Chain A
């Protein structure tokens, strides 16, 4: 009858309409629309009719026509209220479980939040600077004896070459020295601050927030910018602008501005003043000379890329600039490149010219720990809920028979977990707020929580939702899968298999805990190992003082005599490098039998005669410098590393040529560990020199107390160098600073692993109490039949012990694998000896037994008459 397909309105549009339209309107509206459809189809065309139908449907999306939520969901509201009420009653009636659940979860969340804040702080490093995306540091790779190294130290002429040849690619370029302590004085006020010399565009590159003055005023060759804290220390309430102050006792500078102190999470946070570059070059002849020395890598170079300039392209362009300009440097095949600001903090390590990570590894490490600690707390929640499922099986059964859909039961248990997570979150936020100052000290950060920041709340809300889904999903799915008939008949018994996932989760918990324990032990072992490394001199009672002003110079004998007369010291010497670093490295050494391909690179340290006696080094061969030999001004002392590097058999009496001078080796000393305790000692040479020394080293009189000695020393310095504030450092303390980063990791991992273990223990404590409760009758029967307390304790503890042992099997290889990798990163590292995993495993076992035993013994001691009477 009908040849062509029947013409009807688009089905999908109708379905859509019915989906949102109020039910009472559907008849008239569909009627109207259909009428319209057929009229249009008749008068215009079928396709127009279809199109128009859609148009009409979409235009029915109006408030008046749309299904009212409240009307259809009123039931849901009551239902949710009921869910929360039931959850709340459950919480109150099982105070012990609630405490374990909420407490454990709160601690886990607090840890995750703290770590989250820490990670956020790390990732937002340097974002304070406006031109974050375009600021770069110019760096270079160089190859020495086949090893490709990367450094930020650059030659001075590079700056002019970049400006002349690639000026279009850079908006600003600023070269500078290294941050260092300097003395600023205004009249009688003298303060010592860390600062640096930079070219005029530095404030622009780093978009310094000027509180007084302008950035451009810094271009004045005698200009200095002060950080706010420096300005306050120096000027108090007075206006510092355009005032003259004295830098390092003899340089007159003019304050042209005050900038906001750079926040703690920026690269130059220690920069408390910036002086114009011209001051440095005008007052240091060596810098003037360096202007043409391509081999003198003594400066740092920052730049801002021109808008539109691509980092990679520019980096590639300037790669060969040093080789092109300096023929003599080609032997080191220097490659100049740009390091973008976003990578300064997190990706600052290179291996063979390739980026090899850096602090980002810490971020990953702690991020993973945070996730795991949270996971542990979630596992507790899952385990306790499913373990107690039998108790709630009847409730589930009744709900099902009354007509609850599975979906509704799932939402019930999810809302229950939401409630618990929400309570935990409030407690966790409290913990974080209280623990933050302490955490800041521990992690050396100044993190604040932005309570009023909407982003914080959005993140928190997501965090709550994710955690409740994570913690609640398994119990929700598990509990809602019961069959009501079985449950209500009472034949429901979770069989052996039901506890398998629970056991798996406990194994996961303990695997993580054991890994953390092993990690903590190894970190501490590594720190101890490097601390115990022989240093080759005597650190205790050794004090160093930097000679920051010219006033110190030429007073060696006066100071030495006066200090010795007071009895405060037993010896004094001066040196060109502090006892905690080597400031000067030089190449161009030559000696008889030198491998012509060997590129020489020695730490060069100028010292005075009594240096060896002062620091207490050990002469292995030959002799120390002595005032009795006038020839010692052209003598040289090597350290053992230098002898090995030079590959010589009989060093004493050998001639070494350097810089056109001949030196005779008179002695070999044991290696002095003054740089990184994790790296091999640098091959070094010691030369006599009374000029160009910058540090005074003092050996305190061991018969007097340190504070008494310092008091005496201060009075001598006050008399002889009145313009410089008296500042000193104990070498052993300065040396300990080198371990700060590692000790921080150690402390943080300790805290986190302790918390992880506590959380895991809370979990098994809850499980054990549940198991004991569940087996009350069995235990009663066993006791009647003659079981001893010991055998009952064994029976109840066995299950948990097996789980812990299994966890150890997983944890030990995983931990060893990652820790070996971590240790590989250190040239000097400890071994993972067999006792470490063994101790960690035993520790976990003992803690578990202690936790479980409390419940097991309590259950075993219960009188059988009581336990059999129940029900």
Chain B
């Protein structure tokens, strides 16, 4: 069985990888996380999550190009796999279905989700 459950932090990181696209490497993702959520996070924590997500098959990675500000070192660029995308979607669907069952909000949302 494939591990499909996503933690909140994992889900955010996964989404950030998708948002950043070509620029999705640990440092950038951490910066983006801080600016989007306002919460501080260490690069190590982000890296550890990326590593875990890659282990689950939601991400793949490859060494990218080097830049001067990092002493000519290459960076590891992460990309979402098809499985990763499906898991994200399932996660959202699940939550929306829950939202719909919640009487206080039922019917007030319309995201155009089929």
Contact = CB atoms under 8 A, between A and B. Distances in A.
Interface of A: 27-36, 38-39, 55-56, 59-62, 64-65
B44 A36 contact: no
Contact of A59 (B27, B44, B66, B70): B44
Contacts of B48: 62, 64-65
Contact of B75 (A28, A39, A61): A28
Given A34-B73, A35-B70, A64-B51, A28 B44 contact: no
A16 to B, nearest CB: 13
Contacts of A60: 42-44, 47
A27 B70 CA distance: 10
A31 B73 contact: yes
B26 interface: yes
B69 A38 contact: yes
Given A28-B25, A29-B47, A60-B43, 6 more contacts: A27-B63, A30-B70, A31-B70, A32-B26, A32-B43, A59-B45
B74 interface: yes
B71 A30 contact: yes
Interface string B64-90: 001101110111100000000000000
A60 B41 CA distance: 12
A48 to B, nearest CB: 13
A36 B27 CA distance: 7
B52 interface: yes
The listed residue with most B CB atoms (<10 A of its CB), out of A31, A34, A61, A64, is A31
Nearest to B70: A31
A56 B51 contact: no
B44 to A, nearest CB: 4
Among B42, B48, B75, residue most surrounded by chain A Cβ atoms (within 10 Å): B42
A576 to B, nearest CB: 88
Contacts of B43: 29, 32-33, 36, 56, 59-60
A466 B70 CA distance: 50
B69 A35 contact: yes
Contact of B26 (A28, A38, A62): A28
A384 to B, nearest CB: 53
Contact of A28 (B31, B63, B67, B69): B63
Given A28-B63, A28-B75, A36-B43, A64 B69 contact: no
A31 B75 contact: yes
A61 B44 CA distance: 8
A35 B45 CA distance: 16
Contact of B73 (A30, A38, A56): A30
Contacts of A62: 44-45, 47-48
A28 B73 contact: yes
Contacts of B71: 30-31, 34
B26 A59 contact: no
Contacts, number: 70
B73 A27 contact: yes
Contacts of A65: 44, 47-48, 51
Contacts of B70: 30-32, 34-35
Nearest to B45: A59
A60 B67 CA distance: 22
19 contacts: A28-B63, A28-B74, A29-B26, A29-B43, A30-B71, A31-B71, A31-B74, A32-B25, A32-B27, A55-B42, A56-B44, A59-B43, A59-B44, A60-B42, A60-B44, A61-B44, A62-B44, A64-B51, A65-B51
Nearest to B72: A31
Nearest to A57: B44
A56 B75 CA distance: 17
A870 B56 CA distance: 68
For B25, B26, B43, the residue with the greatest tally of chain A CB atoms inside 10 Å of its CB is: B43
Contacts of B66: 31
A35 B44 contact: no
Contacts of A34: 69-71, 73
B97 to A, nearest CB: 33
A41 to B, nearest CB: 11
A719 B58 CA distance: 103
B54 to A, nearest CB: 10
A321 to B, nearest CB: 69
Nearest to A36: B27
Q: Which of B63, B67, B75 has most A Cβ within 10 Å?
A: B75
B76 A28 contact: yes
A39 B74 CA distance: 17
B57 to A, nearest CB: 16
B42 A32 contact: no
A33 B76 CA distance: 13
Contacts of A38: 69
Contacts of B76: 28
A26 to B, nearest CB: 9
Which among B47, B48, B67, B76 has the greatest number of chain A C-beta atoms within 10 A? B47
Contacts of A31: 27, 66, 70-71, 73-75
Nearest to A38: B69
A62 B43 CA distance: 11
Nearest to B61: A28
A64 B52 CA distance: 8
Contacts of B26: 28-29, 32
